[in-house]
Amino acid sequence: MKPISTLRRVAFATLIASSAAAPMALFAAEPATTQAAASTYSTQTGMLKTAEEALVAISSIHSARLALFNNELDTAKTDLSAAKTALEAAKADAADKMMRDFQAADNTGFYLPFDLNMALSETFVPTPDDQVALQKAAELFQTEAADEAIEVLRVASIDLQVSAALLPYDSTVQNLEAAIGNIEAGKYFEANIDLKAVEDSVIVRDFSIDAVPAQGNT
């Protein structure tokens, strides 16, 4: 397994801190037993695997837009070249990282998760057993055993919600190619519109720790 992203480490560290800060008096409450209802989409047992290449691509595209705004054409071209290289690399990971948008009516195109955020439910009241599970999961995350950490949280019925930022693969490639072509043709306004379309196409989806969407372009 690849190293866990810094974003995920920070998110989980924040989650643990928020739980640890709860008053000790709350530990007398009954443990949370929230379990997800039967999902309407295919699920997997482990946490979503993020595509670092997708994060590089969207960051480079944002940087290119800023460069165009400042009339720094060479920088914009360099950024878009980096984005294109990242997306080409991401395609090699499609078989195990791409996923469909389970909330879309047509559920067609494939997306790459590039950022995850985890948060305890606002109604979650930790018990001593919950705190043990959270600490154990934190230790597993730090040793890059993400799936094992998620299983600890699932077994303990921790009311944890996960948000994922998803980048649509096909339309991103198309808009990126259009932007590169427009820059070469001196059509900088049109290139900016192409890049803005990529940023606007990013979606965020939420799911329960018990209903992690399945990945795999197969």
Tens of pLDDT, residues 61-119: 999 999 999 999 999 999 999 999 999 998 876 778 899 888 887 777 899 999 988 88
What domains does the chain contain, in order, with CATH numbers? Answer: 8-20+42-210 (1.20.120.1940)
What's the confidence (pLDDT) of residue 119?
Answer: 80
Whole-number Å distance between alpha carbons of 178 and 197: 11
CA 142 to centroid of chain Cα atoms: 18
Residues 6+ apart with CB under 8 A from 58: 83, 114, 167, 198, 199, 202
Are the C-beta atoms of residues 196 and 110 closer than 8 Å to each other?
A: no
Strand order in the sheet with 203-208: 99-100, 110-120, 160-168, 203-208
Output 13 or 186, whichever has higher pLDDT.
Answer: 186
Using CB atoms within 10 A of its CB, is residue 107 exposed (0-12), middle (13-18) or buried (19+)? exposed
- Encode pLDDT of 130-168 as tens digits: 888 888 888 887 887 777 887 887 787 777 788 899 999
Predicted pLDDT at 203: 94
177 residue type, one letter: E
**Residue 102 near residue 205, CB atoms below 8 Å:** yes
The DSSP secondary-structure symbol of 102 reads T
pTM of structure: 0.75
Q: How far apart are CA 142 and CA 66, in angstroms?
A: 35
- SS3 at position 29: coil
Distances (CA, A) of 150 to 34, 46, 48, 69: 15, 7, 10, 43
